[in-house]
Amino acid sequence: MHEQGLKVRSRNIDSLRIESITGVDVELPLAGPGGRSYAFIIDWHIRVLIALFWLLIAMIIANVTGITADLVKFMIFGPPTVIYLFYHPVLELAMSGQTPGKRMAGVRVVTRNGQPPSIGAILIRNVFRLVDSLPAFYTVGLLSTLVTRDSVRIGDLAAGTVLVYLPVNSRKASQRQAVLATQTRLAPDEAELVSDVIERWPQLAPATRRQLAVKLLVRAGLPATDMDNFDDARLAAALRDLLVPQR
Amino acid sequence: MTASDTTQGPRRALNDWLGSRVSAWAALDRRVQQLQRGGNVNVDEALQAANDYRRIGRDLALAQQLGAPLSTTNFLARQYAGLHQVLTRPASRPWQDLRVLLQQAVPAAILQLRPRILWIAVLLLGTAAIGWILVTLNPALAGLVASRAMIDEVENGRLWTDGLLNLVPPAVLSAQIFTNNILVAISACCIGALYGLGTFYMIGINGFMLGAAFAFTRQHGLDGRLFEFIVAHGIVELSVIVIAGAAGLSLGEALIRPGRLTRRAAFEGAVRQAAAVMLVCIAFLIGAGVIEGFVSPDESFPLAARGVIGVCYMVLFVSVLTGAAWRRPAISAAVTADAVP
């Protein structure tokens, strides 16, 4: 597949649309300051934990071997500095634009063509952390994500990259498709509505979910009077049966 | 025919279509996830993925047209985007990329940066001259660029670099030096993103410190020894600072005067150019750090040897930056051409 056939068509506030050779646009939801910060905080904690672990080991080695003070200083601060500086670029290279924090946040670095970033792009976006972290606590980077159209920091502007949510279907989403397509007798839009109510049942207020369930069951042809005596659990069961009839 | 029949027909068609495609989508989902995990893909798998991409694109368009449930179109859109990422993944050719970088990108970038290199060199020398004059006129100003301990050492007739090897092993010293130098060079370049002002500031400060240090050591008759200490590594080190500054200046310039491009595109282009040059500079800073750790503090190296090392290293640096190191001499090209029947 050639890069020439791809170009960025337009950008919504929260997603990146890319023109594809098939004629159907690819849409990638952009990660905003929240998703970025979440991933960064996880990565920051991982780095701190590794550094602390190393500090412990280095102090034990220093005590046992009795090496010079300068060497101890170098041994204590050298590896954590290396981890601090190389954690992001090395892992983003090894994990195709992800780090453990980004993976947990479900985000990935991609180019503005939606492709995985090249080595050069990853190095550039990480080197520019020097500017993004100014004057402290990534203030420049955070402000940049708040004011730029694609919610990117200076490093991303420099490297031509963006942070997007992973286009991966969860197992739940796949199962839902199977139910909607093969196991229900309802029309697709109705099936989706019923499926939504079942999925959100525990979060809905009891009165609201009762009202919704009754309305959906009546629309499906069940007499409203029958449902007067239904308790909460029975209504939920009736909805499930409406979606996927039990044989 | 009733109204209900007219709506039930398309609904049934949509349901039938969803039903006929769902198992294919499930199989595709597994394949996409496998491809996303990476690893080598054979020709059959690649062709299958290309076919899947077209098919899922068609399904997505159809689902949108038929008004399929939102969860279905989202499901297909995610599958489609996932496959897009897998299929458009650039090929990994690190050696070829490195060759293109060294033979073409770096010399081209240096050509573009030439006027800025000149201006930054003037800035460095100018601020060095200011530092020199100010400290010569008022020696107390040396406190601006040197710590109390360093001043005491110089006033006692010793350079702060004397006996450095007795304190730290050369390898550790080298690592500390090149790490610091790389950070300074990268900072001088990146900080140019602040409309070039950061670069001006860093180059100005470095020039001032250099001039002030020489003026201060001259007052105590140690300038010759300071020169002796820095000559082997300093020529390349200072050149790298100048080039990093020029690269930083180009970032600021791209933001101020983007020309026909958008600011974003101009900035991106300037960064790409700067990155190519900085990659070579960083490699040479590591070498300079090794020289500074092993040669510069070692008193057994005479001035002439240090001078030769410094000049040779600079010649190598310039020849790599300009691409001369990779260019074949015209005569050998002519001989080769003659030899071809």
Show the DSSP H helices in B146-300 as ranges. Answer: 148-155, 164-167, 170-190, 197-219, 223-256, 263-294
- CB A70 to CB B168 under 8 A? yes
pLDDT score at A22 = 80
Predicted pLDDT of residue B7: 55
Pick the last residue of a domain from B87, B103, B125.
B87
The 8-class DSSP code of residue A190 comes to H
Q: What pLDDT score was predicted for residue B65?
A: 83
The three-point CA angle A110-A5-B63 to 5° equals 80
Instruction: Please indicate, yes or no, if residue B228 is contained in any of the structural domains.
Output: yes
A56 touches chain B (CB under 8 A): no
Q: Domain check: are B154 and B171 in the same one?
A: yes
| pLDDT tens digits, one per residue of B140-150 | 898 888 888 88
Confidence of residue B1 (pLDDT cuts 50, 70, 90): very low
Query: Which one is predicted more confidently, B227 or B31?
Result: B227
User: Which of B17, B78, B272 is the best substitution to test chain A (most A C-beta atoms within 10 A)?
Assistant: B78
Is the confidence at residue B329, as pLDDT, over 50?
Answer: yes
pLDDT band at B169 (very low <50, low <70, confident <90, very high): confident
Which residues lie closer than 8 Å to A203 by C-beta, 6 or more apart? none
Give the side-chain half-sphere CA count within 13 A for B163.
6
> How many domains does one find in chain B?
2
Greater model confidence, A65 or B120: B120
Region A166-182: what's the mean pLDDT? 73
Are B249 and B101 found together in one domain? yes
Q: Is A158 on the interface with B (CB under 8 A)?
A: yes
Do residues A114 and A122 lie in contact, with contact meaning Cβ atoms separated by under 8 Å?
Answer: no
What would the pLDDT profile of B231-286 be if each residue is shown by its tens digit? 999 999 999 999 999 999 999 999 999 999 999 999 999 999 999 999 999 999 99
Query: Is any Cβ of chain B less than 8 angstroms from the Cβ of A1?
Result: yes
- Which has more pLDDT, B71 or B295? B295
The pLDDT of residue B320 is 96
What integer pLDDT is reported at residue B257 of this predicted model? 93
**Region of residue A96 (left: phi > 0; alpha: psi -120 to 50; beta: else):** left
Whether A142 has a pLDDT exceeding 60, the answer reads yes
d(CA B186, CA B245): 9
- Quickly state the pLDDT bin for B136 (edges 50, 70, 90): very high
Chain A positions touching B38 (Cβ under 8 A) are 96
Burial class of residue B249 in the structure, from the number of CB atoms within 10 Å of its CB (0-12 exposed, 13-18 middle, 19+ buried) = buried
| CB-closest option in A78, A131, A181 to B22 | A181
Cα B203 to Cα A93, B111, B112, B238, B275, distances in angstroms: 32, 21, 20, 10, 18
Residue B209 has a pLDDT of 94
Angle between helix A33-65 and helix A139-147 axes, rounded to 10 deg: 160
Judged by average pLDDT, the poorest of B7-16, B17-26, B119-128 is: B7-16
**CB contact A228 to B (< 8 Å):** no
Residue B1 counted as domain residue? no
Quick check: A127 contacting B, CB < 8 Å?
A: yes
Which residues of chain A neighbour B191 with C-beta distances below 8 Å?
A: 130-131
Whether the predicted pLDDT of B306 surpasses 90: yes
Q: Indicate if the pLDDT at residue B106 is higher than 70.
A: yes
User: Are B77 and B104 in a shared domain?
Assistant: no
Sequence-ordered list of residues with C-beta below 8 angstroms from that of A70, at least 6 positions apart, any chain: B167, B168, B172
**Residue B91: in which H helix or E strand, if any?**
none
B contact test, residue of A4, A24, A86, A110 with most B CBs within 10 A: A24
Could you report the per-residue pLDDT of A225-236, keeping only the tens digit for each? 777 788 888 889
B3 found inside a domain: no
- What integer pLDDT is reported at residue B38 of this predicted model? 66
Chain A positions touching B72 (Cβ under 8 A) are 177, 180-181, 188, 192
What is the mean predicted confidence (pLDDT) over A179-193?
Answer: 75
Question: Does residue B114 lie within any of the structural domains?
Answer: yes
- Check whether residue B186 and residue B205 sit in a common domain: yes
In this structure, the answer to whether residues B259 and B155 fall within a common structural domain is yes
- Tokens 């992973």: give the residue: A166
Q: Is residue B336 part of a domain?
A: no
Tokens 């029975």: give the residue: A234
User: Three-state SS for B161?
Assistant: coil
Q: Which of the listed residues B44, B65, B87 is the one where a domain comes to its end?
A: B87
Are the beta carbons of A217 and A239 closer than 8 angstroms?
yes
Q: Do A168 and B89 touch (CB under 8 A)?
A: no
d(C-alpha A174, C-alpha B74), whole Å: 11
CA distance B239 to B314: 9
Q: Is residue B334 part of a domain?
A: no
Taking CA–CA distances from A170, the nearest residue in chain B reads B75
Q: What is the mean pLDDT of chain B?
A: 87
B186 and A130 in contact by Cβ < 8 A? Answer: yes
Do B42 and B175 share a domain, yes or no?
A: no
End-to-end CA distance of chain A, in Å?
47
Q: Are residues B44 and B150 in the same domain?
A: no
Q: Is the Cβ pair A160, B187 closer than 8 Å?
A: no
Q: Are residues B78 and B104 located together in one domain of the fold? A: no
Q: Looking at the predicted structure, is the pLDDT value of residue A93 above 50?
A: yes
User: Which residues, including other chains, have CB under 8 Å from residue B172's CB and lie 6 or more apart?
Assistant: A70, A71, A74, B293
Which residue in B has a C-alpha nearest to residue A116's C-alpha?
Answer: B89
| Lookup: tokens for A72 | 């101890």
Q: Is A168 on the interface with B (CB under 8 A)?
A: yes
pLDDT above 70: percentage of residues in chain B: 91
Instruction: Report the alpha-carbon angle A131-A135-A139, nearest 5.
Output: 80
Domain co-membership, B105 together with B154: yes
* Mean pLDDT, rounded, for B63-73: 82
Q: Is A28 on the interface with B (CB under 8 A)?
A: yes
Higher pLDDT, A169 or B141: B141
B180 and B244 belong to one structural domain: yes
Binned at pLDDT 50, 70 and 90, residue B9 comes out as: low
Angstroms from B149 CA to nearest CA on chain A = 18
A157, A181, A188: residue with CB nearest B264: A157
Provide, as residue numbers in chain B, all residues whose Cβ is less than 8 Å from the Cβ of A28.
81
At A70, the amino acid letter reads: D
User: Looking at the predicted structure, is the pLDDT value of residue A41 above 90?
Assistant: yes
Residue B72 domain-assigned (yes or no): yes
Region at A98 (left for phi over 0; alpha for psi -120 to 50; beta for the rest): beta
Say yes or no to pLDDT of B218 above 70.
yes
Selected residue of B271, B272, B282 to mutate for chain A interface (largest A Cβ count, 10 A)? B271
Packed helices A206-219 and A232-243: angle between N→C axes, nearest 10 degrees: 40
Domain around B12: 8-87
Disruptive mutation site among B71, B174, B189 for chain A (greatest number of A CBs within 10 Å): B71
pLDDT of the residue at A154: 94
Nearest Cα residue in chain B from A135: B191
A34 near B CB under 8 A:
no
Minimal Cβ distance to B72: which of A74, A114, A177? A177
CA distance B105 to B277: 8
Contact A22 B57 (CB under 8 A): yes
According to the model, what pLDDT value does residue A182 have?
66
Percent of chain A with pLDDT over 70: 92
Which residue in A20, A140, A171 has the most chain B C-beta atoms within 10 A of its own C-beta, making it the best mutation to test that interface? Answer: A20
Structure tokens at B153: 């050492």
The ipTM is 0.78
Residue (of A213, A189, A193, A246) closest to B18 by Cα position: A189
Residues B295, B318 share a domain: yes
pLDDT at position B110, please? Answer: 96
Nearest to A163 by CA among A153, A171, A172, A173: A153
In chain B, residues with a C-beta closer than 8 Å to the C-beta of A22 are: 53-54, 57-58
pTM: 0.78
Q: Tell me which of B87, B104, B127 is where a domain ends.
A: B87
d(CA B64, CA B70): 9
Between vectors from CA B127 to CA B124 and to CA B132, what angle results, nearest 5°? 120
Does residue A176 belong to the interface with chain B, where contact is any CB pair within 8 Å?
yes
Higher pLDDT, B89 or A151: A151
Residue A202 has pLDDT above 50, yes or no: yes
> Which pLDDT belongs to residue A25?
87
User: What is the predicted pLDDT for the residue at A121?
Assistant: 93
State whether B190 and A159 contact (CB < 8 Å).
no
Residue A222 has pLDDT above 90, yes or no: no
| Nearest residue of chain B to residue A177 (CA atoms) | B72
Nearest CA of chain A to the CA of B256: how many Å? 15
Show Cβ contacts of residue A236 under 8 Å, excluding neighbours closer than 6 positions.
A198, A201, A213
φ, ψ (nearest 5 deg) of residue A10? -160, 165
Give the pLDDT mean for B158-174. 77
Picking from B219, B87, B74, B88, the residue whose alpha carbon sits closest to that of residue B146 is B219
Q: Is A165 on the interface with B (CB under 8 A)?
A: no
Give the distance from residue B168's alpha carbon to the nearest chain A alpha carbon, in angstroms.
7
For residue B14, which residues of chain A lie inside 8 Å, CB to CB?
187-188
Examine residue B223 and state whether it is found in any structural domain, yes or no.
yes
Q: B40 and B110 share a domain?
A: no
Q: A102 Cβ partners below 8 Å, 6+ apart?
A: A39, A43, A95, A108, A109, A163
How many beta-carbon pairs under 8 angstroms link A with B? 157
Residue A7's H or E segment, with its range, is strand A7-11
pLDDT at A192: 81
Lowest mean pLDDT segment, chosen from B37-41, B194-198, B279-283? B37-41
